[in-house]
Amino acid sequence: MNNKKLIITGLVIFLIIVLFPFWYMRGKAAPAPEPVLTPKAQAAQACVRSTEYMRSEHMLLLDVWRDSVVRDGNRIYVNPQGKEFNMSLSNTCLDCHSNKAEFCDRCHNYASVRPYCWSCHIDNPKEKT
Amino acid sequence: MDSSRRRILQLLGVSALALTTRPVFNAFAKEEVAAEAESVIKAGAKSLKAKQWAMVIDTRKFKSEADLEPLIEACHKIHNVPRLQNKRHEIKWIWGVHYHNAFPGKAAQFLAEKVEQRPFLVLCNHCENPPCVRACPTKATFKRESDGIVFMDFHRCIGCRFCMAACPFGARSFNFRDPRPFIAETNKEFPTRMKGVVEKCNFCAERLALGQLPACVEISKGALAFGDLYNPKSDVRKLIRTNYTIRRKQTLGTEPSVYYIV
């Protein structure tokens, strides 16, 4: 190795630059968001499925709901507890979760996902404008 | 490595045994899932069902455009159809036209005065052989097996407008602009559309699911009838049996499901 000094210095600088964001932001990770439930959602106690299921699978659930309602015309969802729900984002989900900014957006922003549900489905069916 | 014939045979045997473990594990895994109760999807108890929904429009009961207005208003209001002043941007689910526009080729040089002046209510014909469905590259529009409605999945529409070119009735409109600012009064229970999506009449599928007739039929005071085309006892079949009816551009072979009593 002829240019030992040069190479080692270069490597050190490279590593510092690459790792800079890690040590600069160390311990400053944004805390996991806590979605706020509306009084109505709190009163209902349980969602369509368990909280854990909804947290991880709600997008899949909505996908299945949409295909069923649109393609087959079947609009009633019976959850494992035997409770029936109208499969509607506008009228069932957003009826309880009528606080988009504090509920939906918090996690979506945190996870940096931008679903475009609300470009058609109106945020809050109950709120009269 | 020393690989005698015996050694290789032993290895083959063990491998074969290993291959059988996966199905066994799967079987166990399946049982676990089955133990947890499954969710079920079904149709609503009150939902109306048909093989092919159809409509009969008694045009004799409409004297002027003003008679159509409440029907159009009712439809456009519940479906959040925007009202755009620019004719080229207009969104229509149901509207009125003259006889020679509704039935081109059927209009003779001279016509009965009452027919010539009468407004004809037109909407998506929910054809039994829909050309728009064949044109759609994403299956965003499709012929619904369960009730014969030519339905749209707005989520899937990419706005290519092939369906608009394919539809011989001009029943489809394209959202050239974001429709939201142009909706006077939004119905919060029905979604709006977004820019770049095609839309059209859906035969009020959301109302049929609740056991209600389409909004235009409900408000028409008997001028419109709605029912199953393949049920001989349905209202529409009774009317078709007892009246002379015509359909729009029948020669094209799309088999429209909207019949007109002239």
How would DSSP label each residue in B178-246? -SGGG-SS--TTS----TT-EE---TTHHHHTTT---HHHHHTTTSEEEEETT-TTSHHHHHHHHS-EE
Residue B259's SS3 state is strand
How many angstroms separate the CA atoms of B38 and A82, rounded? 9
pLDDT over 60 at B124, yes or no: yes
Pick the CATH number of B53-261 from 3.30.230.70, 1.25.40.80, 2.70.70.10, 3.30.70.20: 3.30.70.20
Residues of B with CB below 8 A from A64's CB?
A: 41
B140 — pLDDT class (breaks 50, 70, 90): very high
Q: Is the C-alpha dihedral spanning B163, B168, B172, B176 positive or negative?
A: positive
How many angstroms separate the CA atoms of B101 and B151, rounded? 25
Q: How does pLDDT run across B6-15, given as a tens digit for each residue?
A: 989 999 999 9
The number of residues making up chain B comes to: 262
B96 — pLDDT class (breaks 50, 70, 90): very high
Q: Which amino acid is at A94?
A: L
Would you state the pLDDT for residue B54?
97
| Domain locations in chain B as residue ranges | 53-261
- Name the closest residue on chain B to residue A70, using Cα atoms: B153
Q: How does pLDDT run across B182-198, given as a tens digit for each residue?
A: 999 999 899 999 999 99
Would you state the pLDDT for residue A128?
44
Residue scoring higher pLDDT (A74 or B26): A74
Q: A127 CB near a chain B CB, below 8 Å?
A: yes
Q: How does pLDDT run across B144-171, given as a tens digit for each residue?
A: 999 999 999 999 999 999 999 999 999 9
pLDDT over 60 at B35, yes or no: no
- Consecutive sets of 10 residues in chain A, 129 residues long: mean pLDDT of each? 90 96 85 88 91 93 94 92 92 90 91 92 63
- Name the closest residue on chain B to residue A121, using Cα atoms: B191
CB contact under 8 A, A126 and B188: yes
pLDDT over 50 at B132, yes or no: yes
Q: How does pLDDT run across B210-223, given as a tens digit for each residue?
A: 999 999 999 999 99
The phi, psi pair for B90, rounded to 5°, reads -55, 140
pLDDT over 90 at B51, yes or no: yes
Residues of B with CB below 8 A from A77's CB?
A: 39-41
The phi, psi pair for A84, rounded to 5°, reads -100, 140
CB contact under 8 A, A72 and B146: yes
Nearest by CB: A73 against B147, B153, B189: B147
Mean pLDDT for the stretch of residues B121-149:
96
